[in-house]
Amino acid sequence: MSEDNEKNALVTPEFKQKLASLYSYLAKHLGVKEVPQVVLTKNKQNSENPFGLTGYYDHNTKTIRLYITDRHDTDILRSFAHEVIHHWQNENGTLHPGGTQTETPAHYAQNDPNLRKREMEAYLFGNILFRDWQDEQRYGPPVSPPLMPQPINENLMIKNNTRLKDGLKKLLQAFVQEGTITSYHRDLTSGDMDPTDFVEDFANKLVSALNDQIETINNRGNWENQPNMIKEDNE
């Protein structure tokens, strides 16, 4: 562990002990093999930026950099847990599979499908394991081991809606021909549809419903800005 931009120690020995304890906890539960280099950075300008950095992981040097100026210990430790997850992903070959990425472009967490999953994984594992470690420090070990989340692999997706629709149409046509489906009505009417129109209409509805369900499963909800959810309280 090293420190930047300060003559004296940036953090107390007690904080360093907490950092080491948290790392041991994470390494034990994740099976991390190699200890990453950790750099604690003091940067006043960054701390005054509401969108300043909290930390990052360099997968080439296996280094975690944490920005610590004007931050609560808990906040720094939570950032550390997040970055350790990226280190774990790097060890397991899931952070940048198939090659070494030298630059991280803007919006990588939104535009790169693999890195999107890795960020989701880091927030899921980092936050819950940090909470488990905190509670163990507060109350002692739990009576039984807590449920561990599962790594995020390939999300469900439909790669070709046209092929799916064609397959569904063939299935529906077979049901009509063999008499499994014998009556089909238009929405809000009592009149029967032409079999061809029914197959086309129902296949479209099935594809749409499947896409909606997959979106729900993959937690791709439309997060809206809700300013009223944030309140201030003077203590």
Distances (CA, A) of 64 to 23, 38, 47, 112, 193: 12, 5, 18, 22, 63
| Strands 55-58 and 63-67, bridge-based pairing | antiparallel
- What does the pLDDT read at residue 71? 94
Q: Are residues 124 and 172 in the same domain?
A: no
Lateral strand order in the sheet of 63-67? 2-4, 37-41, 63-67, 55-58
Q: Are residues 113 and 211 in the same domain?
A: no
- pLDDT by residue (tens digit) across 124-164? 999 999 999 999 999 999 999 888 887 776 556 676 778 88
Q: How many domains does the chain have?
A: 2
45, part of any domain: yes
The pTM of this model reads 0.63
- What does the pLDDT read at residue 20? 94
93, part of any domain: yes
pLDDT tier at 225, thresholds 50, 70, 90: very low
* Residues 11, 40 contacting (CB under 8 angstroms): yes
- What does the pLDDT read at residue 7? 42
* Residues 67, 55 contacting (CB under 8 angstroms): yes
pLDDT tier at 25, thresholds 50, 70, 90: very high
Question: Averaged over 212-222, what is the pLDDT?
Answer: 58
Q: Are residues 28 and 103 in the same domain?
A: yes
Spell out the alpha helix ranges (H) of 92-154.
108-111, 113-139
pLDDT tier at 102, thresholds 50, 70, 90: low
Domain that holds residue 200: 161-217
pLDDT at 84 over 70: yes
